[in-house]
Amino acid sequence: MYFSQSVLFTILLWPGAMSQLLEQDCGYTNLTVHGQDARPVSNPWKAFILKYNVERTADVVCLGTLIHKQFVLSAARCIARNQVLAVRLGEYSTAKTFLVTRSFRDKNFAADYGIKAALLQIQPDVQFNAFIRPICIITDPAEVPDVKTFRAAGWKKTASGALSIVLKPVELTEVNLSVCNNMYRRNLTDDHICAEHQNEDTCVSLTGGPLMQKVDMNGSLRYVQLGIIRAGVSECRNPAVYTRLSGYIEYILGVVSNYTVSSAPQILV
Ligand SMILES: *[C@@H]1O[C@H](CO)[C@@H](O)[C@H](O)[C@H]1NC(C)=O
Ligand SMILES: *[C@@H]1O[C@H](CO)[C@@H](O)[C@H](O)[C@H]1NC(C)=O
Ligand SMILES: *[C@@H]1O[C@H](CO)[C@@H](O)[C@H](O)[C@H]1NC(C)=O
Ligand SMILES: *[C@@H]1O[C@H](CO)[C@@H](O)[C@H](O)[C@H]1NC(C)=O
Ligand SMILES: *[C@@H]1O[C@H](CO)[C@@H](O)[C@H](O)[C@H]1NC(C)=O
């Protein structure tokens, strides 16, 4: 679970309630009610990107977010040629694995210190439910709220390796790009976010994971994705550089509209 209820976050009152979303049914979590078991599902858009190794078992290589019934957003460094990738959505007994049929990354990605947005196409269509639901992507970059604080998943690595990373909630605050420029000797642009957090024992470095915020849209609170985590688990830096999503929305919409294929819906059993 990424976020504890005891942590108080600012809720943004955002006037851009007219904006359009990539998927309407996005960015909220419902209580699950199975008999007496009613508990909140955190982050139903969380996607584990899996790579099959020579023993044909899967390693988690990155994190991503479900943004559309056929697309998962992650970071370009997570995909390489000739890799068989899959995406795991849902939690516990509801988890489902989808094969990646096609992957996309912005052609200019090498110019941006090697890490940009990537899209993984999965099939068949994902059926949304309480455990599997997309995060909101605002389709007009000009309508993306000017958020200065973000929520993300951080981690504390456990002894048994990558799969047992314990995710914990982190709140980040944007700082001036010059802070990261000086620290990492870079020339960062508006396509980057320099942000820091106060949790000294936490690393916000799960490549492909989201920077997000809860936003009031037409009276309902929705999680909107605003950035992508660039660093890998071997890095643990603070403040750090994140990819700002608004610079990639046009690219995302291009891929989604050009490549979404009609496919038979999956039958849930
Ligand atoms: C908010 O309401 C307006 C008017 O009904 C609608 O056009 C818009 O799509 C809604 N926005 C969201 C995010 O649901
Ligand atoms: C889930 O939550 C959304 C938003 O709060 C609400 O519109 C919807 O009716 C809920 N669905 C169920 C099945 O409770
Ligand atoms: C960020 O830092 C630069 C360089 O120090 C400065 O010119 C700029 O005004 C700062 N921006 C903000 C929003 O503080
Ligand atoms: C940043 O850009 C300036 C001007 O183009 C250049 O001189 C400098 O070497 C660059 N610094 C880095 C760290 O790339
Ligand atoms: C989508 O198709 C349009 C029109 O053919 C093209 O201009 C655009 O570059 C394509 N976008 C992507 C991301 O493939």
Domains defined for the chain, CATH in brackets = 4-134+249-259 (2.40.10.10), 141-246 (2.40.10.10)
Find, among 16, 67, 124, the residue nearest to 251 by Cα. 67
| pLDDT value at residue 32 | 58
Give the per-residue SS3 of 148-188.
CEEEEEEEECCCCCHHHCEEEEEEEEEECHHHHHHHHCCCC
Q: Measured from the CA of 178, which atom of ligand 3 is nearest?
A: 2
State how beta strands 31-34 and 12-13 pair: unpaired
Please state the rounded mean pLDDT for residues 132-149. 92
CA distance 177 to 240: 10
Q: What is the pTM of this model?
A: 0.84
> 63-72, 92-101, 195-204: which has the minimum mean pLDDT?
195-204
The residues, any chain, with a CB within 8 Å of residue 199's CB and separated by 6 or more, are 154, 168, 170
Rg, C-alpha atoms of the chain: 18
Contact 167, 184 (CB under 8 A): no
Burial 137-171 (b: 16+ CB within 10 A, else e): bbbeeebbbebebbbbbbbeeeeeeeeebebbbbb
Q: Measured from the CA of 181, which atom of ligand 4 is nearest?
A: 13
The H or E element containing residue 13 is strand 12-13
| pLDDT value at residue 83 | 80
CA distance 250 to 144: 13
The residues, any chain, with a CB within 8 Å of residue 182's CB and separated by 6 or more, are none
Q: Whose CA is nearest to atom 5 of ligand 3?
A: 178
Sign of CA dihedral 239, 177, 120, 253: positive
First-to-final CA distance of the chain:
25
Check pocket membership of 185 for ligand 4, CB cut-off 6 A: yes
Q: Measured from the CA of 30, which atom of ligand 2 is nearest?
A: 1
Check pocket membership of 30 for ligand 3, CB cut-off 6 A: no
If you average pLDDT over every residue of the chain, what do you get? 81
In the structure, what pLDDT confidence band is assigned to residue 263 with cuts at 50, 70 and 90?
low
Q: Which ligand is nearest to the CA of 108?
A: 5
| pLDDT value at residue 16 | 45
Does position 173 have pLDDT exceeding 50, yes or no?
yes
